[in-house]
């Protein structure tokens, strides 16, 4: 019974059940059986909505100077996604996620964004970043279980870009102290911070 003696429509209860069933936290088995990514040639691209107003920062560490903040909402898709940001800062993503390690190659945006949803820090770098800078990034990835590092081959707006769910910062060097400050401030600041990476 609803307020004032009215009966709630069945569709409201059914909508609530469907909404709960579609969340990532409750679909652990479907994540394991879902395809890692739909073939680019067989599925049309979905355009992710542009991030909107800045989201509040909820962290005990002060954010470093230069952080851009975006409001993004999570959802899943088996299609290839066209993101409005380079690299993406969150939003619609694939059913599989990337393991948090150093990679000397690009990774699919859809799976990297899923890692961001799980609380990961995603560091992307241009192919011409010097070897000593790559060593710094590799050491950072091996010292933390929440850092994914991958190459970005075309159009990265800075030599190094560090991203968490809804936040991003552009850097000229891997030795910039703000890189570690960003990781410390925003690790786990995401919709599913306890999920694997």
Q: What is the pLDDT of residues 32-51, one digit of tens each?
A: 333 333 333 334 455 555 55
Return mean pLDDT, the chain.
78
pLDDT tens digits, one per residue of 1-33: 444 444 434 333 333 333 333 444 433 333 333
Angle at 80 between CA 77 and CA 81, to 5 degrees: 80
- Please give the pLDDT value at position 51: 52
Q: Which is more confident, 54 or 168? A: 168
Paired tokens of 151: 């190459």
Contacts of 167 (CB under 8 A, 6+ apart): 57, 63, 67, 68, 69, 70, 89, 182, 186, 189
DSSP-derived pairing of the beta strands 121-125 and 160-164: antiparallel
* Whole-structure pTM value: 0.70
SS3 for 132?
Answer: helix
Instruction: Output DSSP code: residue 62.
Output: P
pLDDT tens digits, one per residue of 58-115: 445 678 999 999 988 888 888 888 999 999 999 988 889 999 999 999 999 999 999 9
């Amino acid at each position: 019974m609803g307020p004032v003696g009215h009966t709630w429509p069945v569709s409201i209860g059914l909508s609530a059940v469907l909404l709960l069933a579609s969340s990532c936290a409750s679909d652990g088995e479907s994540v394991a059986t879902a395809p890692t990514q739909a073939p680019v040639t067989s599925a049309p691209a979905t355009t992710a909505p542009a991030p909107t107003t800045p989201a509040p920062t909820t962290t005990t560490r002060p954010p470093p100077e230069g952080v851009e903040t975006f409001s993004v909402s999570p959802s899943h898709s088996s299609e290839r996604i066209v993101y409005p940001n380079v690299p993406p800062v969150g939003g619609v993503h694939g059913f599989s996620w990337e393991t948090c390690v150093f990679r000397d190659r690009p990774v699919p945006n859809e799976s990297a964004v899923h890692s961001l949803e799980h609380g990961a820090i995603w560091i992307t770098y241009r192919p011409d970043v010097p070897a000593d800078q790559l060593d710094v990034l590799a050491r950072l990835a091996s010292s933390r279980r929440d850092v994914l590092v991958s190459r970005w081959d075309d159009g990265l707006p800075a030599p190094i870009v560090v991203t968490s769910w809804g936040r991003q910062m552009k850097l000229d060097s891997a030795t910039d102290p703000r890189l570690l400050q960003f990781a410390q401030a925003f690790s786990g600041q995401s919709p599913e911070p306890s999920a694997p990476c």
